[in-house]
Structure 1
Amino acid sequence: MAYLLGEKVEDVMCNTTKGVTGLYDYIGDSWCCLFSHPGDYTPVGTTELGEMARLAPQFDSRGTKVIALSCDHLANHQGWIQDVKAATGFDVNFPIIADPGRDTAAQLKMIKMEHRGADTRGLPRTVRAVLIIGPDKKVKASMQYPLSVGVNFFEILRLLDALQVSSAESVHTPVNWVKSQDVIVSPDMPTDAALEKPTFQQGLRIIDLPSRKEYLRITPDPTTAADEEEEAAAEA
């Protein structure tokens, strides 16, 4: 069974291409994107590693560490990394967990029952999965994909932006939201309190609805204003 939202991930010891580390030590006070593959030298996984390598600076700018997991040996990981570079043109500089015995995958709840006996040794394969883990080591988002479908890392970045803005401020994000677009004031915050909140001073619009209920309250993305203030201070 996969992790539930809000559940704390286990602090597993990871043997990776960058050395041995505890998962908590690796995450530290950062956010983390942990994603898994069914095995090395897989075509979809090769494209995923290359794309994540290309987008790594985007994750870095969001204070997010990246770590992958594949059910194979370190030596195979190193060879696969060379294939990824040849196929995509990008170096994989984030760690890949080696898990030939599936112990780490089992601890991280990344094994599906229907994948048991899937490889030549009769061992189960991991699902193609993504976990977004917060600095508190709790699962903020969890996604699983069929083996035939690659991850859309642009959506992962969008999701990460939404999670970070909602964790920093009392806001929710509407359908198809991307960073810098307007957000929705959380239903848990009374309108009077929202009007007094400094981060909502850019403007708060209450949508007039037939029900006459004031539950759809729109405000500019407060993190965009904070980013602009930081840039202005840096230029001063």
Structure 2
Amino acid sequence: MSLRINDIAPDFTADTSVGPIGFHEWIGDGWAVLFSHPKNFTPVCTTELGTMAGLQDEFARRGVKIIGISVDPVENHDKWKQDIKVATGFDLGYPLIGDKNLKVAKLYDMLPAGAGESSEGRTPADNATVRSVFVIGPDKKIKLILTYPMTTGRNFDEILRAIDSIQLTAKHQVATPANWKQGDDVIITAAVSNEDAVKRFGAYETVLPYLRKTKQPAA
């Protein structure tokens, strides 16, 4: 099945580096980031998992849990975690899902149904499309999907920036312009009349009839 923004994130049970989980239950009432990897002991993914470990407090400050997934058995994860610590200096304090039967990769449309039933014998190139990031809201709906090639390391600062935007715009009737970051001006959505814009936001700038900017609302 093809997944899109605002679809319910598929639920699943899986073994992880911290024990079995039910995904929706694990998310609870908060936000989550699920990010996937084609295989253990791959160089780009090793740097990514360590970078996420170093940013775990930043995600937690936003009420976001993080969880990784690799198309390999959980029993291989402990050795990989040691390598990640050597390479990046960070311990993995978040769960890493083992997907040796390719169940979650298929469920999230990262591998085709005909990809087989086992990770055994598969190369990273066989799993090259298992390189997606899913941001999931408290309503269990997918808010963002990003997919990267194997040779391009993910920018997790950008994912934090996107989460800041998604959380802000979920609370206020605003949107964020290109390259927006915390504290920058925001766009008033078309659903807000000029009169209501004054009541909600005070002063605003009309750049174009359909583009009105104002100061970022307080969280």
| Pair 1:191-2:194 in alignment | yes
The amino acid of 1:37's aligned partner reads H
What SS does structure 2 have at the residue aligned with 1:4?
Answer: coil
Distance verdict in 2 for CA 1:47–1:156, change over 3 Å: same
- Partners of 2:182 and 2:115 lie apart in 1 by 37
Task: Answer yes or no: is the 8 Å Cα contact 1:116–1:122 preserved in 2.
Answer: no
TM-score when scaled to structure 1? Answer: 0.85
Task: Answer yes or no: is the 8 Å Cα contact 2:133–2:146 preserved in 1.
Answer: yes
Task: Report the equivalent of 1:219.
Answer: 214
What SS does structure 1 have at the residue aligned with 2:20?
Answer: strand
Task: Report the equivalent of 2:88.
Answer: 88
| Pair 1:12-2:9 in alignment | no
Task: Answer yes or no: is the 8 Å Cα contact 1:71–1:100 preserved in 2.
Answer: yes
Distance apart, 1:121 and its partner CA: 2.4
Task: Report the equivalent of 2:131.
Answer: 128
Task: Report the equivalent of 2:57.
Answer: 57
1:23-42 equivalences under 5 Å are: 23-42=23-42
- Partners of 2:33 and 2:133 lie apart in 1 by 7
Task: Report the equivalent of 1:154.
Answer: 157
The amino acid of 1:178's aligned partner reads K
What SS does structure 2 have at the residue aligned with 1:141?
Answer: strand
The amino acid of 1:93's aligned partner reads G
Task: Answer yes or no: is the 8 Å Cα contact 1:2–1:110 preserved in 2.
Answer: no
Distance apart, 1:33 and its partner CA: 0.7
Superposed CA RMSD in Å reads 2.1
1:65-104 equivalences under 5 Å are: 65-104=65-104
TM-score when scaled to structure 2? Answer: 0.91
How many residues are paired up?
Answer: 216
Percent identity of equivalent pairs: 41
- Partners of 2:76 and 2:65 lie apart in 1 by 23
Distance apart, 1:52 and its partner CA: 0.3
What SS does structure 2 have at the residue aligned with 1:159?
Answer: helix
Distance apart, 1:84 and its partner CA: 0.2
Task: Answer yes or no: is the 8 Å Cα contact 2:100–2:118 preserved in 1.
Answer: no
- Partners of 2:49 and 2:2 lie apart in 1 by 22
- Partners of 1:156 and 1:220 lie apart in 2 by 22
> CA offsets per residue over residues 69-122 of structure 1, 9 Å max, x none?
001111211110010001110011000001111012111222258977997625
